[in-house]
Amino acid sequence: MEPGERMERISYSYDPVTLAMPLAEEITRRVIEKGTLPEADDVRDLLRELGLEELYTGKGLALHRNRHLVALTFPGEPLIVDIIPSSGELSDAVEVIAYHDRELGAFVVEILPANDLEYEGNIGLEPAIIDEKTLELKSSPVFGHFEEGKDGLHLVIDGKTYEGWKESGKLNVCPICGGELVWRGKEALCPECGYGIRVVKE
Ligand SMILES: [Zn+2]
């Protein structure tokens, strides 16, 4: 591996999306479990579980960071978590947002890129839409967590997420960048963003 290539691979793991996806997945899970948006304390617990250190909390705001990312949480409704590279580079920033859409009769969890001019489509392909009464998931978001493999960092999704993704007919679209995926068995690679995707059974 050339040094330049290596740097490029390492920089992927600094990408805000590597925190946004597992966070959106966990927030979705909690909404389904409890039937409400997570409280400020729940989000702080989640961020700590995802390996971030708490720097500040109070006055309607929490600030967390790890070596590469900064997360700013604005609890309440909507619940907003802004994730920024600690370099301060805003063009890579993403926002995880969760709200109760009363007109739709659902809770919605989605990931929005700060720079939506460059980005086509949704990160995760679809927002999570959770029926406010039955707490059933009504959409097919492709959220997961990232693991380091021998080919670099890849998104790991469970079998249930994969089934929903397949039914939505968008298996060829990268849930991270919207690029075109190349599948080999239960693994895919995105030539555009460089991430791999792996399906694991629960
Ligand atoms: Zn991609």
Torsion of CA 168, 163, 128, 50, to 10 degrees: -140
Query: What's the CA-to-centroid distance between 43 and ligand 1, angstroms?
Result: 27
Q: How far is the CA of 63 from the centre of ligand 1 (A)?
A: 28
- Is residue 153 exposed (0-12), middle (13-18) or buried (19+ Cβ within 10 Å)? middle
Give the C-alpha separation, 111 to 121, whole Å: 11
Q: How much is the pLDDT for 200?
A: 92
Q: How far is the CA of 58 from the centre of ligand 1 (A)?
A: 36
Q: Are strands 152-158 and 196-200 parallel, antiparallel or unpaired?
A: parallel
Amino acid 120: pLDDT? 62
- Output the CA 147–ligand 1 centroid distance in Å: 16
Q: What sign for the dihedral angle of Cα 79, 32, 148, 56?
A: positive
Quote the pLDDT of residue 91.
82
Å from CA of 68 to ligand 1 middle: 20
Span from the CA of 60 to the centroid of ligand 1 (angstroms):
34
For ligand 1, the distance from its centroid to the CA atom of residue 188, given in whole angstroms, is: 10
pLDDT digits (tens, 9 = 90+) for 103-125: 999 999 999 987 766 666 789 99
Residues of the chain with pLDDT under 70: 1-13, 116-120, 202
Structure tokens at 100: 């109760």
State the helix-helix crossing angle for 40-49 and 17-34, rounded to 10 degrees: 130
**Cα–ligand 1 centroid distance for 181 (angstroms):** 7
For the whole model, what pTM was predicted? Answer: 0.90
**Residue reference for tokens 């390492």:** 10
pLDDT of residue 118: 60
Strand order in the sheet with 152-158: 145-149, 152-158, 196-200, 187-189, 182-184
Q: Return the pLDDT at 34.
A: 97
Burial class of 67 by CB neighbour count within 10 A (0 to 12, 13 to 18, 19+): exposed
Query: Residue 57 carries which side chain, given as an amino acid letter?
Result: T
Distance 35 CA to ligand 1 centre (A): 32
Residue closest to 101 by CA, chosen among 91, 89, 109, 111: 109
Residue 152's nearest CA partner among 185, 195, 121 is 195
The answer to whether residues 162 and 199 touch, using CB atoms and an 8 Å cutoff, is yes
